Amino acid sequence: MSENKIHKPKTISGFPEWLPEYRAVELEWMDKIRKVFESYGFCNIETPSVEEIDALLAKGGDTEKEIYTLTRLHAEENDKEARLALHFDLTVPMARYVAQHFGNLTFPFKRYQMQKSWRGERPQKGRYREFYQCDIDVVNIDDLPLHFDAELPAVLFEAYQALDIPPVELRISNRKIIMGFLAGLGINEPGVITRTLDKLDKIGAEGVLKMLAAAGVPDAVAQKALAFVNIKTPDSTFAEQVKSLGVTSDLLTEGLNELTFVTDNLKHLPKGGVIADLGIIRGLDYYTGTVVEARFREGNPMAIGGGGRYDDLASSFINQKLPGIGVSIGLTRLFGLLMDQGAIKPGQKAPTQVLVVLPEESRRAEVSATTQILRAKGLNVEMYHRDAKIKTQLAYAEKKGIPYVWFPPFKDGQPHEVKNMLNGNQAQADPASWKP
């Protein structure tokens, strides 16, 4: 067995992993996001990575082809096990969880979930097959107060704010506005128009007008729709601008009032952080009210997170009307994007704050006792693993970026000393009272 065949390891396309100093940053991000979620009272849940395929597909849609199904390598024949697959988002599992544990949850149910999801898409830059999402949702029975339409964007904004990333802005709209606007224009099947308008960023105004004309939409309607989606205001003045287009409907009024409530209640966020943007449509069919998209304020306008309100997400699992609103941070996507740009400053290679030197093997017990004193104070402490030359031990601390090296007495009666590796200062110190 001494001659093994070597399987040269390589990264599998779409399944990212990071070196320790970058994972340290990702982990710090996750801690900070979690802290913001919890500061608004969201509880954590975790669902299995695996659901029954039927549950995942209950809502239909075009996710089917992306699902990874599971098979036991040596499944016995006539295996009667349920057909299982990895979840492709955290929304379907959350809906299943809420339905399943309905009687044991407190409503409005505010939960966060930070887990990996999997999609067997063709890998391409910025797309991952395994990725973290950080989701918060509020779900209630029968109706859900508008309060949460303002709260969830605020949480989302604060989560980005907690990270060391370029400034983020939220673009917010409300599905009732565009639906009500199109209804006011006499459009009863708005699908083709909304889908075309959603492409504005990609194909431009001319492209949109061309496509709408090709679809038989009258030019007057197309022009108004285009003017509509170009309304973007930092406050609630969007309502005046919509009214000036001369279109009215009850649904439109309802949507304008809701979005006004939301922008009014986000006034405490920094200037430029929130933009009412009637061009935000978001493709997902299940959104029925507030929709939000997060972007960097500068550069590529791609979404780095977002979400919206839905009327009834768990209807395939339970005979209850459960409206909700949820937002999601595409953590791996965001992190990977900044990694690709070289914009992530690496963290420490190890969490160690103090390396305790082992001067010689005979002093192991005393050195170990010093280490325990420092560790009991909440410090992260490594004791060097053999009585190597002091130079070697210092080099290890330097290589790992450990900020302090502790010199315990080399002989009984000598004092302890600690060296600050950043500025080179070295001074006597008492392990019981020293602080970094």
User: Which of 209, 251, 292, 381 is the binder for its own copies (CB under 8 A)?
Assistant: 381
341-360: contacts with its own copies (CB under 8 A): 348-352, 355
Of the candidate residues 135, 137, 151, 169, the single one contacting its own copies (CB under 8 A): 151
Q: Which stretch binds its own copies (CB under 8 A): 94-102, 186-194, 273-281, 294-302?
A: 94-102
Distance CA 226, CA 220 (A): 10
Phi (first) and psi of residue 276, to 5 degrees? -75, 120
**Nearer to its own copies by C-beta: 234 or 401?**
401
Q: Kind of pairing, strands 274-277 and 168-174?
A: parallel
Quote the Cα angle for 132-133-137, to 5°. Answer: 155
Write the DSSP symbol of residue 101: T
Footprint of its own copies on residues 22-41 (CB under 8 A)?
23-24, 26-27, 38-41
Quick check: 368 binds its own copies (CB under 8 A)?
Answer: yes
Q: For its own copies, which is the closer residue by CB, 387 or 417?
A: 387
CB of 305 to its own copies, least distance (A): 20
Q: Please list every residue from 382 through 411 that binds its own copies, using CB under 8 A.
A: 382-383, 385-386, 396, 399-400, 402
Which residue from 29, 80, 108, 286 is in contact with its own copies, where contact means CB under 8 A? 108
Question: In this structure, are residues 182 and 225 in contact, taking their beta carbons and an 8 Å threshold?
Answer: yes
Coil, strand or helix at 395: helix
Read off the DSSP letter of residue 322: -
Q: Which amino acid is at 116?
A: K
Which of the stretches 116-124, 226-234, 240-248, 292-300 binds its own copies when contact is defined by CB under 8 A?
116-124
Can you tell me which of 29, 118, 404, 434 binds its own copies, judged by CB under 8 A?
Answer: 118
CB 262 within 8 A of CB 159: no
Count of C-beta atoms within a 10 Å radius of residue 271: 7
Is there a contact between 243 and 140 (Cβ–Cβ < 8 Å)? no
Of the two residues 66 and 430, which places its CB atom closer to its own copies in the complex?
A: 66
- State which amino acid sits at residue 137: D
Residues from 248 through 277 that contact its own copies (CB under 8 A): 265, 268
Q: Which of 33, 84, 163, 344 binds its own copies (CB under 8 A)?
A: 84
Q: Should residue 105 be labelled a site residue for its own copies when binding is judged by CB under 8 A?
A: yes
Q: Which of 73, 80, 299, 422 touches its own copies (CB under 8 A)?
A: 73
Whether the CB-CB separation of 340 and 16 falls below 8 Å is answered with no
